[in-house]
Amino acid sequence: MSTQTRTTTRKWWALAVIAAAQFMVIMDTSIIGIALPKMQTDLGFSQENLTWVFNAYVIAFGGLLLLGGRLSDLLGARRVFAAGWTVLLVGSVIAGAAGNVAIELAGRAIQGGGAALIAPSALTLLMMLFGSTPGELTKALAVYGAAAPAGGTAGVFLGGVITEYISWPWVFYINIPIALLALLAVPALMPDAPARSGSVDLLGSVTVTAGLAAAVYGIVRAPEVGWTSGQTWSVLGAAAALLAAFVLIQARRREPLMRLGIFAAPNLAAANIAQLLLGAAWVPMWFFLNLYLQQVLGYSAFPAGSALLPMTTLIMLGMIVLAPRAMQRFGVKPMIVAGLTVLGLGLGIMSLVRPTGNFWVDVLPASLVAAAGMSLAFVPSLGTAISAARPEEGGLASGIVNVSYQVGSALGLAAMTAVAASFGADRIDSLPDLTNGFSAAFIGAAVIALTGAAVTAATMRRTEPAS
């Protein structure tokens, strides 16, 4: 085997590890869903605190991503990638072995911190491996992008199987062997980059994480305490103040966590807005579709996970086969606009779900249309958000786009949960009310997707299709 062939083979094996990383960090957001009732019984969670098993991970993940991107640029992506897997492994052990609420949430937050190191460094490594060859880069981004929906669906599926046939701690322990394999693969497969001098903006990291946590907490709690209550407005006001302080700190620091000038790069801001609104539309759809399957159609864990497989399969095929070819022919902007529009159409069809519905009429057609939209929009918006930055800021650009998607996911889910509850989704004993609530959430998500299409059409510059 020639040296060039060995190098090429090693690159694609490295991509497999990078895709596995994306698969894992997304799976860890979804795998707990089916396990929550048993965790509630065993650990003594109250009903309102139970959502924090999800939120503790997502907030730590989203809030620390910029720090992860900065560390990746300073210390080298390979080192930070390996450190992220180590932190994820430790958090998984703590979450699985937890005997009370506080330790469980601490374990989940540590998992989120590990994911925040893994995600931006993984994208930086991908750019280091494939960035010099546009054709290979598009294929690599497609594989990476397809790993996200696969991880989301696998999480639901595996979470149901593990909870039903083993025990809930294993939804966390499953990470341990995968993390160990990844740590073994890193020195053999991943390119190394020298460390660079520079400082880390810890104050900026604290303010952005606290601001995001306060925003999500305020929106999640609003349906219970009221949107006009003093508590809601004070928490959301604190969130706005913290995020404004973060921007001010970044403007004044010589070496900020997020250089504000990076958004002057053509299309970087527009691509990140597209990713934010894509997450804000997609994750609520996935969440409430899963609830509709289980709570209205009466599916148990295993069939509910299986019902999402056609949608996931189409997304993976769309991202790997269709999106790269379409990008070459039509360019980035039309792809993102068309993808978000088709996603909005699929969500609109999904809002027609019935209390007496079935999978073949109420779920499959709409989910496939939505999946087609996701597969068209995700890869071009992700690729644009990363490649628009300077090469030495690849980690920062990767961190920003991950933040955009995760923050969009968290805020979109929180907002659509509030919408669903106000339309009856909190009345579990009434299938018509429950279905009305889910339908309202699908309509809200459709509005978000169509808004994303309109904003992209208005703000993104047209680029020529790739040669």
d(CA 324, CA 321): 6
Whether 449 and 347 have beta carbons less than 8 Å apart is answered as yes
The rounded Cα 265 to chain-centroid distance in angstroms is 24
What is the rounded CA–CA span in Å between residue 109 and residue 171?
15
- Do 24 and 152 form a contact (C-beta atoms < 8 A)? no
The answer to whether residue 1 scores a pLDDT higher than 70 is no
Biggest CA-to-CA distance, the chain: 69
The structural domains of the chain, with segments of one domain joined by +, span 1-190, 201-256, 263-467
Structural element, H or E, at residue 381: helix 364-387
Q: How far is CA 201 from CA 71, 452, 463, in A?
A: 10, 31, 35
At residue 48, the pLDDT reads: 57
DSSP structural state of residue 461: P
With 80 as the cut, is the pLDDT of residue 222 above it? no
Residue with tokens 């639901």: 156
What's the pLDDT at 467? 36
Residues in CB range of 175: below 8 A, 6 or more apart: 24, 28, 88, 89, 92, 111
Q: Which two three-digit tokens encode residue 369?
A: 């249309």
CA–CA separation, 121 and 138 (whole Å): 18
Structure tokens at 57: 């991970």
Chain-centroid distance, C-alpha 178: 19
CA 136 distance to own-chain centroid: 24
* Contacting residues for 229 by C-beta, under 8 A, at least 6 apart: 222
Distance (Å, whole) CA 180 – CA 16: 15
Integer-rounded Cα radius of gyration of the chain: 21
Per residue in 153-186, pLDDT (tens digit) is: 777 778 778 877 888 899 999 999 999 999 999 9
Determine the Cα–Cα distance for residues 378 and 326; give it in Å rounded to an integer.
13
* Average pLDDT score over residue span 76-93: 95
The answer to whether the CB of 209 falls within 8 A of the CB of 60 is yes
What does residue 136 show for φ and ψ, rounded to 5 degrees?
Answer: -70, -35
- pLDDT for 465: 47
Give the model's pLDDT for residue 301: 67
Chain segment 272-303, per-residue pLDDT in tens:
999 999 999 998 898 788 788 888 898 876 78
* Domain 263-467 classification at class level: mainly alpha
Residue 137 has pLDDT above 70, yes or no: yes
User: What does the pLDDT average to over 295-318?
Assistant: 82
Domains 1-190 and 263-467 fall in the same CATH topology: yes
Cα 371 from Cα 373, distance rounded (Å): 5
What's the mean per-residue pLDDT of the chain? 85
For domain 1-190, which CATH number applies: 1.20.1250.20, 1.10.3720.10, 3.50.50.60, 1.10.569.10? 1.20.1250.20
Q: How far is CA 384 from the centre of its chain?
A: 17
Which residue's structure tokens are 């993102």?
336
